[in-house]
Amino acid sequence: MKKAAAAAAVLATLLLSSAVSPTAVSGQQPWTNQQTAANNPRLHKAYVALQALKRAITEDPRNLTRGWCGPDVCAYFGVYCAAAPDGDADTDTQTVAGLDLNHGDLAGTLPEELGLLADLALLHLNSNRFAGTLPDSLPALRLLHELDVSNNRLSGGFPRHVLCLPNLRYVDLRFNRLRGPVPPALFDKPLDAVFLNDNLFDFELPESLGNSPASVLVLANLRLRGCIPRSVARMADTLNELVC
Ligand SMILES: *[C@@H]1O[C@H](CO)[C@@H](O)[C@H](O)[C@H]1NC(C)=O
């Protein structure tokens, strides 16, 4: 029973996320005129962003981005389109809502053009070999809900951009080469899950830790100094898991 429910949930997710493909849901027409970068300005911006990402990828051993050609960005592997949240319901303006290249083994960097994916809600890039830093344009992703760049080769300081993303709820930076202090303001954000573990962050847990409404906070295998602040007691109602 449990398994069936889980399978149904997965199927629902797949159907939702693949609603861009007219063949995915037989008998249903997601839209009458197919929207591409050629006739939809949002998809054109996405096209510019995705082509820049493709150029910034230096190794793609699984050939995931080989098919990233032409204006039909919603058909690209790992790209998920959905109705624009601020779009006109009648015209069903499509936009890129998700980019999922998890476990892609892709090497390269993340270009500034990613900021053109203005309607992105999910950015899942875990288990790749992206190096360098997150692009400075990241705060342009006002709708970003989940940022998962875990298990890459990202370096530099804490990506302060995440502090500027108003809708971010899930941030997963674990298993990278990020170093230096973590800004205390991170714990003031309405984040539900925060994974910082297995980086080179070097900081003392701030008093603001207790402000975090997160249910999961993983701080293991860092260079933590000092003690767990008293304020952590305030988290008792929301926190399910604190791993230090
Ligand atoms: C990717 O494409 C190259 C060149 O055609 C090919 O040699 C290789 O086997 C492909 N890799 C996979 C995983 O399909």
Q: What is the 3-state secondary structure (H, E, C) of the chain?
A: CHHHHHHHHHHHHHHHHCCCCCCCCCCCCCCCCCCCCCCCHHHHHHHHHHHHHHHHEEECCCCCCCCCCCCCHHHCCCEEEEECCCCCCCCCCEEEEEEECCCCCCEECCCHHHHHCCCCCEEECCCCEEEECCCCCHHHCCCCCEEECCCCEEEECCCHHHHHCCCCCEEECCCCEEEECCCHHHHHCCCCEEECCCCEEEEECCHHHHHCCCCEEECCCCEEECCCCHHHHHHCCCCCEEEC
Which pLDDT does position 110 carry in this prediction?
98
Which pLDDT does position 89 carry in this prediction?
67
Ligand 1 and 62: CB distance under 6 A: yes
Q: Is the pLDDT of residue 5 over 70?
A: no
* Alpha carbon nearest to ligand 1 atom 2, residue: 63
Which pLDDT band, with edges at 50, 70 and 90, does 185 fall under?
very high
Q: Is the pLDDT of residue 196 over 80?
A: yes
Which pLDDT band, with edges at 50, 70 and 90, does 61 fall under?
very high
Q: Which backbone phi and psi does 131 adopt, to 5 degrees?
A: -115, 175
pLDDT tens track for 88-125: 766 789 999 999 999 999 999 999 999 999 999 999 99
**Residue 210, in any domain of the structure:** no
Q: Tell which atom from ligand 1 comes closest to the C-alpha of 60.
A: 1
**Residue 190, in any domain of the structure:** no
How many angstroms does the Cα of residue 65 sit away from the middle of ligand 1? 12
**Residue 137, in any domain of the structure:** yes
**Residue 148, in any domain of the structure:** yes
The count of domains in the chain is 1
Q: Is the pLDDT of residue 132 over 80?
A: yes
Q: The domain spanning residue 95 has which CATH number?
A: 3.80.10.10
- pLDDT averaged over the chain? 86
How many angstroms does the Cα of residue 63 sit away from the middle of ligand 1? 6
Q: Is the pLDDT of residue 13 over 50?
A: no
How many angstroms does the Cα of residue 191 sit away from the middle of ligand 1? 40
Which pLDDT does position 244 carry in this prediction?
76
In this structure, is the dihedral angle defined by the CA atoms of residues 50, 192, 175 and 234, taken in order, positive or negative? positive
How many angstroms does the Cα of residue 171 sit away from the middle of ligand 1? 33
**Residue 155, in any domain of the structure:** yes
Among the ranges given (4-8, 39-43, 175-179), the one the predictor scored with the smallest mean pLDDT: 4-8
Q: What is the percent of the chain where pLDDT is above 70? A: 85
* Alpha carbon nearest to ligand 1 atom 1, residue: 63
pLDDT tens track for 65-79: 999 999 999 999 999
CB-CB contact of 174 with 150 (8 Å): yes
**Residue 72, in any domain of the structure:** yes
Ligand 1 and 59: CB distance under 6 A: no
pLDDT tens track for 207-232: 899 899 999 999 888 888 877 788 88
Among the ranges given (20-29, 69-78, 156-165), the one the predictor scored with the smallest mean pLDDT: 20-29
Range of the structural domain that residue 152 is part of: 31-180
**Residue 120, in any domain of the structure:** yes
Ligand 1 pocket mutation, candidates 63, 64, 77, 105, criterion most atoms within 8 A of CB: 63
**Residue 55, in any domain of the structure:** yes
How many angstroms does the Cα of residue 153 sit away from the middle of ligand 1? 24
